[in-house]
Structures are given as C-alpha cells and as structure tokens.
Amino acid sequence: MPSFKITNTSAYRPEQMYAIAADVERYPEFIKLIRVARLSDLKRHADGTQTCRSEIEVVYKKLNVHQSFASDVTLDPNALTIRSVSNEKPMKHLDSRWVFRALPEGGSAVDYAVDYELSSRVLQFVMNKSFDYAMQKMVEAFEKRARALYGPPLAKQA
C-alpha cells in the first residue's frame, strides 16, 4: 500500500497552521486541485474533539483526473491533530494524519502522513506518479494561506 510522509517547517504557530488545515470547506479557495469541499454530520464531543464527514472533489486537468471522495474526519484542537479515514470508492483504504508541533525556536513543524490505496488500478498508477508533486503543492498552498491570513511570518510569534 502506498504511503507518503512529509514534515514541513513553518514560521507560523502550530495553532495557526492547524486552523488552516481544519477549515476543510475553505480548501477550494487556496488549493488548486480541490474544486469542492463540504463537511456534514459535525459533532462536538465533551473532550473537545470534533468528528464530521468530509466530501472533496479533486480535479487535476493535466492527468485528466476528476474524482470525488468522502472520509470520516476527527479534529482535535487540543492535541493539534487531524485524522481522516475512508474505505469508500474510489478509495480502497485511506488513513491520513496531520500533527502540528511547536518548535523551540518558534514556528511549527507540520507532519503529514498518509497511507492509501485506490480501488482503480489505473487511478492508483496515476496517483503514484503524481502524489509527491501534489503533496508539495499542497504544502506550499498552506504556507501561502498562512501568509494571506496572518501576514508575513515573524521569527517568533506570540
């Protein structure tokens, strides 16, 4: 099963980066590959976590990919983690995790890990060839979004 891990260092605080990643419905505003993002069945739990259903439509014109998928999402603002899981088509299996950590020198480390397998072998082949590139573009999009929302990064933010 394909997997991908990346750690990106950001000058922004982990809470700021978490807020961007948790705001799934805004993804189409700053991630070019995502055309539509909807949340439903939002539930707030006593421990501070939230669970919901996410539906995302991805369009990658260069590879003629136009695909929608749904996942179950757990948002934990206290631990600064986000987990998304699915075993619905086109996914055979999806388990992705975001972890946002404060760095001693300021800013944050953003860890993203995903294990996935698609139901379609053709789509799996296409994704395997372009997944690293797509993930790099997504990381860049989050950093640009942080700059747009919070202004230029400071060496250490309060």
Q: 93-112: per-residue pLDDT in tens?
A: 889 999 999 999 999 999 99
The amino acid at 155: A
Mean pLDDT for 39-55 is: 96
Phi, psi of 119 (to 5 degrees): -65, -35
- State how many domains the chain has: 1
Q: What is the DSSP letter of 89?
A: T
- The CATH number of the domain holding residue 70 is 3.30.530.20
Rounded to 5°, the CA angle 147-19-156 comes to 50
> Is 157 a domain residue?
no
0.75 surpassed by pTM? yes
Q: 123-155: per-residue pLDDT in tens?
A: 656 565 566 677 778 888 999 999 999 999 864
Q: Residue 144's domain spans which residues?
A: 6-84+91-150
Residue whose tokens read 């986000």: 82
Task: Please determine, for residue 65, whether its predicted confidence score (pLDDT) is greater than 90.
Answer: no
> Is 75 a domain residue?
yes
Task: Please determine, for residue 156, whether its predicted confidence score (pLDDT) is greater than 50.
Answer: no
